[in-house]
Copies of this chain bind each other. A is one copy, B any other.
Amino acid sequence: MQLAKGVEWTTHICAMLPLVPEGQGLSVDALADYFEVPSAYLAKQMQLLRRAGIVRSVRGKGGGYRLARSPDDITLLDIVTAIEGPMPAFRCTEIRQNGPCGLKRKDCKRPCEIASAFAVAEQTYREALQAKTLASVMQDAAMNSSPEHMVEIAGWVQRQVA
């Protein structure tokens, strides 16, 4: 049971994309360089974010990616769902209907107690991720970082779009 690497990558990327100036964007290659991750694979992950409406892309020369909406309107759950899909981690295969003492189908209209318990647990997980916005993540990061580092990043972004 493990989250895809793309979740870590794209979350970090979403947390730095707000530093891109208005009307501009960062290319996949630039983003891949920034975190030293494989460019071709990252491109796939960025497409997932775009289809989920989290980032916006501009084609052609000078194009690239930027956030599609405000950082306080994007949650970690949005990103995880975009990359991993909406499927629950625990999938009930109804084995209670199997075997010599299996239940009849008509007696299984409600989900079994075990599936229910896991569904509850996953719901609390999702709620915790939904409560954490990108804006909040950035604020926490700024607290533990230095002004110089912010300037360093801003400078790097400038050079990419130039």
A114, B36: Cβ atoms closer than 8 Å: no
A121 at the interface (CB under 8 A from B): yes
Q: In whole angstroms, how far apart are the Cα atoms of A103 and B70 in the complex? A: 26
Copies of this chain, complex-wide, total: 2
Residues of chain B within 8 A (CB-CB) of A40 are none
- Shortest CB distance A49–B (Å): 15
A108-162 with Cβ < 8 A to chain B? 110, 112-114, 116-118, 120-122, 124-125, 127-129, 132, 137, 140-141, 144-145, 149, 152-153, 156
Closest chain B CB from A36 CB (angstroms): 4
Contact between chains at B117 and A76 (CB < 8 Å): yes
Whole-angstrom distance from the CB of A137 to the nearest CB of chain B?
5
Cβ-defined contact, B124 with A128, below 8 A = yes
| Chain B residue, CB-CB nearest to A7 | B90
- Given A92-B8, A100-B33, A101-B34: A141 and B112 within 8 A (CB)? yes
Residues of B close to A2: CB separation below 8 A: 1, 87, 89-91
How many whole Å from A114's CB to the nearest CB in chain B?
A: 5
**Given known contacts A1-B2, A114-B8, A99 and B144 CB-to-CB distance under 8 angstroms:** no
Q: Which of B8, B91, B153 contacts A101 (CB 8 A)?
A: B153
28 contacts between A and B (CB under 8 A): A1-B1, A1-B4, A1-B84, A1-B87, A1-B89, A2-B89, A2-B90, A7-B90, A8-B91, A8-B92, A8-B114, A12-B95, A12-B114, A33-B99, A34-B99, A34-B101, A37-B95, A37-B98, A100-B156, A101-B156, A110-B144, A113-B140, A114-B137, A121-B129, A124-B124, A124-B125, A124-B128, A125-B128
